[in-house]
């Protein structure tokens, strides 16, 4: 009986967790590479956002994009301050954890993860149709699905090799995309707006100004005020993706400098391209023509409206579309893998996502998982339009929490080191709150509420996604004995002597006690580790007899034991190789075979007994194997019940190791 005065020093459930330091992501990215990822994720949105925005805002589309751009500007400032203050992977997920707790952190991260999955699937799936000018077979789903899977496979390979290699590809493609769009805007200014002819150009500017009017009872160009505000909400889709840069803050060189540079460069580029593209598009065609013939491909509409456009510019624009969509899919895959890496590090997702490739130091498990999810969506989904409605649901919820985190940190941690600090503050009870964060929070909250009220598919699928995620989150935290709402503090311990134990070849000598127990245990371990199992039975021949002496009874017993071992293996779907040998010493034979065949684990049974001083308690065979084996030895002991057949029935085996 245990002593009632025993003192229990074990710790209760705590929000402080000690983990082994597995190393960090490599800091290899400069400002240009961060810019390439940010532009790749955001810049692709114009390929569908311009059309859906014009559907509501009509001729006032440039104004709708400008107003949405103001909210985007506020969001960029929020992300810049927080990313430089906390240069780690996670984005809004990380911000919410520092400002509040792990529950809000999970909500922000899980909502954002939804957007990344949609980005990967839709962007990769849309690459094929843009290349159909060169390969007409890509216009059909039969031809496009294999193309999409190939694109995802290429992206997976590039990202596993390393983030630096991945961003180099993105940077080259982003430069090509920006140059092409600037060329289209320039050609449009010359050929459509006639900028080289001052009088004609001024006429186009006056016409453009007139078309920006709202509520003029003109169903062709002037939208009603309710429709215009719907257009502003749709225009927010064009700016989703700035989160990608903050996700890479943990891999940026000198993040205090490179992250602000990349975010500001992305913001300026988007303002110029979006505003210029929308002006050229509405000069080239009416809103009705744009939203009927070119709703999903407005850039192609611009090219087709120009002289010689259909013949020469269409292939160019197709290549441009495929390029930027490839970059967008790459950015989504990078963002999803880094986000899950950060979430699993703080126990909001299972730790399997925290594994880094031993050579390339990339989160390869996350990369593989999300490549497979995106591939499944492409194969299963017939139409992605409902999935696309989830964009604003997840992103706006995530942006809201980012703005709220900035406000919370300004109140709770006013002395936090902030290399980049937003100006224009209002002071409330000693806390300096940025006006841009307040405006950004209100703007993103308004768009999120609009999605809930007017987008049934986005609302239903979005809340379903969040509900499933929260159930899994609460279950996982409970299984880890961690409080659901607290903020877990991670203490990384350096353990230089730690080496991961891998088991690939298991040897089970059946000469001894607890044979059935050992085989079951070996089969379970082999299934978990992906190992193979060999059962070995040694018939010991006394020195007084020749080694090849034939013992029919012993051989029949050995065959019976081998059959039972293989039958047990089949129960666990683990094939077991059987070997029967005759030798002078079972211990020596076991050790020799383990050395020759390269086994890394021996599981052997023993029945401890009381002996005279100086003799082995475990038996001579077990003692010899323990002292001479070239690998780890596990000794299986335990009490078993005997069935009517005389075979041992395992009760609760007690494995021990040497």
Three-state helix/strand/coil letters over 576-608:
EEEEEEEECCHHHHHHHHHHHHCCCEEEEECCC
* Residue 600 and residue 631 in contact, taking contact as beta carbons nearer than 8 Å: yes
* Mean pLDDT confidence for 462-476: 92
Residue 251 scores a pLDDT above 90? no
Band (290; pLDDT cuts 50, 70, 90):
confident
The more confident residue out of 589 and 173 is: 589
Average pLDDT over residues 142-171: 75
Please state, in angstroms and rounded to a whole number, the distance separating the CA atoms of residues 248 and 342.
11
Chain position carrying tokens 């509409």: 301
pLDDT at 602: 94
pLDDT of residue 296: 63
Strands 576-583 and 532-540: parallel
Mean pLDDT computed over 178-188: 86
Question: How does residue 445 score in pLDDT terms, banded at 50, 70 and 90?
Answer: very high
Q: What is the DSSP letter of 195?
A: T
Instruction: Give the total residue count for the chain.
Output: 658
Question: In which band, very low, low, confident or very high, does the pLDDT at 613 lie, cut at 50, 70 and 90?
Answer: low
Contact 441, 403 (CB under 8 A): yes
Residue 166: pLDDT band (50, 70, 90) is low
List all residues 6 or more positions away from 528 whose beta carbon is below 8 Å from its beta carbon.
none
d(Cα 208, Cα 198) in Å, to the nearest integer?
A: 15
pLDDT confidence tier of residue 163, bands split at 50, 70 and 90 = low
Band of the pLDDT at 421, cuts 50, 70, 90? very high
CB-CB contact of 280 with 184 (8 Å):
yes
Residue 400's CB is within 10 A of a number of other CB atoms, namely 23
Which tokens belong to 91?
């984005």
Burial (CB count <10 Å: 0-12, 13-18, 19+), residue 486: middle
Task: Please state, in angstroms and rounded to a whole number, the distance separating the CA atoms of residues 603 and 527.
Answer: 15
Closest listed residue to residue 328, CA positions, set 188, 521, 466, 126:
126
* Rounded average pLDDT over 209-226: 84
- Going from the C-alpha of 658 to that of each of 61, 75, 593, 631, 648, the distances in angstroms are 74, 58, 19, 10, 24
What is the residue whose two structure tokens read 């929308």? 278
Count CB atoms within 10 A of the CB of residue 223: 27
CB 628 within 8 A of CB 599: no
Q: Please give the structure tokens belonging to residue 379.
A: 């194969």
Least confident of 18-22, 116-120, 464-468, 550-554: 18-22
300 close to 317: Cβ distance less than 8 angstroms: yes
Mean pLDDT on 513-541: 90
Q: Is pLDDT above 90 for 458?
A: no
pLDDT value, residue 409: 93
Separation of alpha carbons 143 and 390, rounded Å: 27
Task: Give tens-digit pLDDT for 490-514.
Answer: 777 777 777 777 889 999 998 766 7
Count CA within 13 A, CB hemisphere, residue 446.
Answer: 15
What gap in Å lies between CA 169 and CA 323, rounded to an integer?
Answer: 10
Residue 309 gets which letter from DSSP? I
Query: Given this model, what pLDDT does residue 614 score?
Result: 58
Q: Which of 223-237, 263-277, 615-629 has maximum average pLDDT?
A: 263-277
Structure tokens at 624: 């010899």
Rounded Cα gap, residues 254 and 243, in angstroms: 18
Alpha-carbon distance of 7 to 4, in angstroms, equals 9
How far, in Å, CA of 153 to CA of 372, rounded? 9
First and final C-alpha spacing in the chain: 29
Instruction: Examine the pLDDT at 530 and tell me if it is beyond 80.
Output: yes
Residue 398 φ then ψ, to 5° = -65, -45
Whether pLDDT at 12 is above 70:
no
Residue 639 pLDDT? 61
Which range has the worst mean pLDDT, 22-26, 112-116, 349-353, 646-650? 646-650
Paired strand residues for 509 = 536
Q: What is the pLDDT of residues 376-395, one digit of tens each?
A: 777 766 554 455 556 778 88
The CA distances from residue 518 to 162, 387, 604, 606, 629, in Å, are 43, 51, 7, 10, 18
What is the rounded distance in angstroms from the CA atom of residue 147 to the CA atom of residue 136? 12
- How confident is residue 657, by pLDDT bands cut at 50, 70 and 90? very low
| pLDDT number for residue 388 | 54
Mean pLDDT, residues 302-331: 75
Give the distance between the most distant pair of CA atoms in the chain.
118
Residue 112: per-residue pLDDT? 86
Q: How far apart are CA 302 and CA 458, in angstroms?
A: 30
Nearest Cα to 37, choosing from 275, 256, 263, 372?
263
| Among 71, 64, 35, residue whose Cα is nearest residue 49 | 64
What the block records as the tokens of 217 is: 């009872």
pLDDT, averaged across the chain: 81
pLDDT of 645 over the 50 cut: no
195-204, 309-318, 426-435, 601-610: least confidently modelled range: 309-318
Confirm if 122 and 388 have CB atoms less than 8 A apart: yes
| pLDDT surpasses 80 at 370 | no
In this prediction, residue 650 carries a pLDDT of 41
If residue 626 lies in a helix (H) or strand (E), which one and from where to where? helix 620-628
How high is the pLDDT of residue 628? 94
What contacts 358, CB < 8 A, 6 or more positions away?
A: none
Q: Say whether pLDDT at 656 is over 60.
A: no
Q: How far is it, in rounded angstroms, from Cα 586 to Cα 609? A: 19
Most confident of 117-131, 390-404, 534-548: 534-548
Which token pair is 394? 């997840």
């Amino acid at each position: 009986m245990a002593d009632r005065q025993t003192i229990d020093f074990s710790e209760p459930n705590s929000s402080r967790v000690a983990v082994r330091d597995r190393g960090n992501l490599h800091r290899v990215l400069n400002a240009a590479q961060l810019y390439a990822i940010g532009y790749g994720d955001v810049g692709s949105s114009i390929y569908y956002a311009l059309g859906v925005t014009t559907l509501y805002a009509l001729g006032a589309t440039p104004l709708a994009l400008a107003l949405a751009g103001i909210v985007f500007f506020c969001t960029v400032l929020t992300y810049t301050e927080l990313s430089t203050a906390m240069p780690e992977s996670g984005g809004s997920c990380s911000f919410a954890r520092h400002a509040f707790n792990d529950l809000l952190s999970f909500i922000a991260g899980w909502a954002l993860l939804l957007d990344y999955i949609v980005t990967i699937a839709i962007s990769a799936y849309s690459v094929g149709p843009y290349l159909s000018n060169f390969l007409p077979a890509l216009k059909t789903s039969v031809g496009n699905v294999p193309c999409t899977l190939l694109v995802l496979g290429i992206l997976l390979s590039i990202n596993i090799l390393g983030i630096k290699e991945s961003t180099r590809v993105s940077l080259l493609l982003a430069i090509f995309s920006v140059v092409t769009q600037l060329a289209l805007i320039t050609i449009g200014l010359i050929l459509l707006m006639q900028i080289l002819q001052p009088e004609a150009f001024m006429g186009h500017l006056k016409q453009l100004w007139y078309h920006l009017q709202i509520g003029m009872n003109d169903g062709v160009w002037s939208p009603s005020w309710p429709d215009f505000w719907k257009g502003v909400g749709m225009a927010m889709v064009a700016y989703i993706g700035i989160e990608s840069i903050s996700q890479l803050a943990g891999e940026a060189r000198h993040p205090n400098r490179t992250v602000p540079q990349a975010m500001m460069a992305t913001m300026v580029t988007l303002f110029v391209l979006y505003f210029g593209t929308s002006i050229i598009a509405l000069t080239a065609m009416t809103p009705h023509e744009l939203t009927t013939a070119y709703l999903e491909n407005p850039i192609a509409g611009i090219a087709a409206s120009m002289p010689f456009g259909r013949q020469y510019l269409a292939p160019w624009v197709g290549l441009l579309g495929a390029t930027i969509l490839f970059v967008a899919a790459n950015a989504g895959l990078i963002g999803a893998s880094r986000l899950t890496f950060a979430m699993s590090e703080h126990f909001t997702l299972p730790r399997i996502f925290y594994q880094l490739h031993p050579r390339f130091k990339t989160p390869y498990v996350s990369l593989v998982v999300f490549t497979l999810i995106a591939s499944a969506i492409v194969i299963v989904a017939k139409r992605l339009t409902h999935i696309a409605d989830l964009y604003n649901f997840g992103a706006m919820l995530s942006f809201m929490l980012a703005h709220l985190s900035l406000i919370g940190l300004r109140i709770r941690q006013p002395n936090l080191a902030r290399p980049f600090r937003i100006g224009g503050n209002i002071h409330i009870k000693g806390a300096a709150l940025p006006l841009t964060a307040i405006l950004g929070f209100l703007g993103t909250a308004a768009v999120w509420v609009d999605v809930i009220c007017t987008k049934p598919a986005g609302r239903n699928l979005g809340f379903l996604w969040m509900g499933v995620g929260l159930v899994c989150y609460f279950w996982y935290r409970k299984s880890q004995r961690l409080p659901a709402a607290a903020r877990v503090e991670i203490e990384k311990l350096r353990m230089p002597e730690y080496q991961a134990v891998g088991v690939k070849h298991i040897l089970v000598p059946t000469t001894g006690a607890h044979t059935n127990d050992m085989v079951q245990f070996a089969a379970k371990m082999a299934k978990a580790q992906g190992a193979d199992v060999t059962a070995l039975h040694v018939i010991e021949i006394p020195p007084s007899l020749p080694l090849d002496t034939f013992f029919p009874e012993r051989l029949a017993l050995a065959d019976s034991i081998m059959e039972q071992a293989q039958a047990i293996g089949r129960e666990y779907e683990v094939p077991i190789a059987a070997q029967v040998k005759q030798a002078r010493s079972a211990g020596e034979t076991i050790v020799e075979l383990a050395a020759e065949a390269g086994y890394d684990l021996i599981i052997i049974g023993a029945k401890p007994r009381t002996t005279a001083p100086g003799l082995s308690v475990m038996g001579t065979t077990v003692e010899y194997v323990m002292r001479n084996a070239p690998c780890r030895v596990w000794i299986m002991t335990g009490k078993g019940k005997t069935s009517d057949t005389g075979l041992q029935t395992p009760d609760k085996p007690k494995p021990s190791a040497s």
